[in-house]
Structure 1
């Protein structure tokens, strides 16, 4: 399971999610980019800047909830520690 954070071009919005197939989920987010009825479409959050792997769904969901409760400052620090330049992550070439 994956816990992930997306942002928009200006890094003003963060979206936190959980999935068992990160590549598929990123495709779904980018496909709904213009869908104003969905958070990621409305705010154009389709740039992956952070992810982590969890051994099971229960722990992943708990971690997602934990991150969502964090302040923006704390989330920014987590992303920066993992991805200092906030460069959009391409899972096919990411070396971390």
Structure 2
């Protein structure tokens, strides 16, 4: 979207929201802002695994992993232990999976 051709809302609150949103998009495009990953997503990314492969290693569904990564659910005690192993010694998790 070209901001030169964008008409802001006449509602002051909505116009402020639109300007802030447009600024955020511009900052993301220029690399000034980065999306922070959850700790679980960071572990998965460090292992260079897709959600599908990582969820297979952990013995959970992709949906469950997504819920953990997005903060909609928290892993159980056993899953927390597996995640800690994945973080500290990923080769060990791969070896026993």
TM-score interval, smaller chain = under 0.3
- Asked which structure has the greater CA Rg, the reply is 2
Give the structure-2-normalised TM-score.
0.25
| Higher RCO (C-alpha 8 Å, min separation 6) | 1
The structure with the greater share of residues assigned to strand is 1
The structure with the greater share of residues assigned to helix is 2
